[in-house]
Amino acid sequence: MRYRLVIFDWDGTLMDSEARIVACMQAAAQDAGWGELAGEAVSDIIGLGLPEAIGRMCPGIGAEQAERLRECYAQRFVAAEAEPLSFFPGVEAGVARLRERPDMRLAVATGKSRRGLDRIFAENGSGAWFHASRTADETRSKPHPRMLEELLEEFGVSASDAVMVGDTEYDLEMARALSMDRVAMTYGVHDRQRLAASHPTFTADSFPELIDWLHG
C-alpha cells in the first residue's frame, strides 16, 4: 500500500452533488435578492467554504446580504435532502476495500460545514467509514492547507505518507502546498486540463481506478 493516510474531498469526489448544490445556490441567490447566478459560476466554487464561495460568486456583496444568502442556501439544501443523493459508482465498495487495511487511516477534508457533513454522515451511515474529518467552518477553507496539516498532526503521519483525493484545483493546491501527493478525479467539478495545472501525482477517471492505483 502506498500510503498510511488517504484524505478525500466530499462533493464531486465521493458524492454526486454538483447539480443539487448549483440548483440550491441559484435559488438562494434569488431568495436573498442578489439575482441570477450562472450555473458555471456556482460549479466553480464547489469545494470552498461557504463564505469564501459567496465572496467569489458575488463580488461586492455586503455582509448582511451575504449572510442572508448563506442562510437561504442552507435552508434550500436541507430541504432538498429529503431526496438522498448518491455516491459515485464504486465509492462504497472502494472505501470498504480500503477499510480492510488495518494500517490505513481514511479522512475527509471538505468545504461543507460541520453540521452539514455530520447530517450526511448520520443519514447514510458513511461517518463510520472515516477515522477523522475536517470542515471549512472549523478550520480554514481550501486551498489553504490547514485542514491537511491538522489531519496529519492528528494521526502522526508525515505529508510523504499521505495523499489527497479531490476533483477541484482547491483540493490539489492545498496538498501541493505541503508537497503532499494528490490525485485528480476527472468526473467531478473541474475539468482535466484545469486539474493538470496542479501537477497531480495520479489522475483517475473513476473511483475503482483510484482504488486499484492505491493498492498497486
| Domain ranges for the chain | 5-16+87-215, 18-80
pLDDT at 195: 98
Alpha-carbon distance of 159 to 154, in angstroms, equals 12
Mean pLDDT by 10 residues, the chain (216 residues): 93 97 96 94 94 94 95 94 94 96 95 94 95 96 97 98 98 98 97 97 98 92
Considering only CA atoms, which of 155, 183, 176, 166 is closest in space to residue 10?
166
**CATH number of the 18-80 domain:** 1.10.150
pLDDT at 1: 66
**CATH number of the 5-16+87-215 domain:** 3.40.50.1000
Sign of CA pseudo-dihedral 35, 36, 39, 40? negative
C-alpha cell at 186: 476527472
Q: Where do runs of H (alpha helix) occur along the chain? A: 18-31, 39-45, 50-57, 63-80, 91-99, 114-124, 146-155, 169-176, 192-196, 207-215
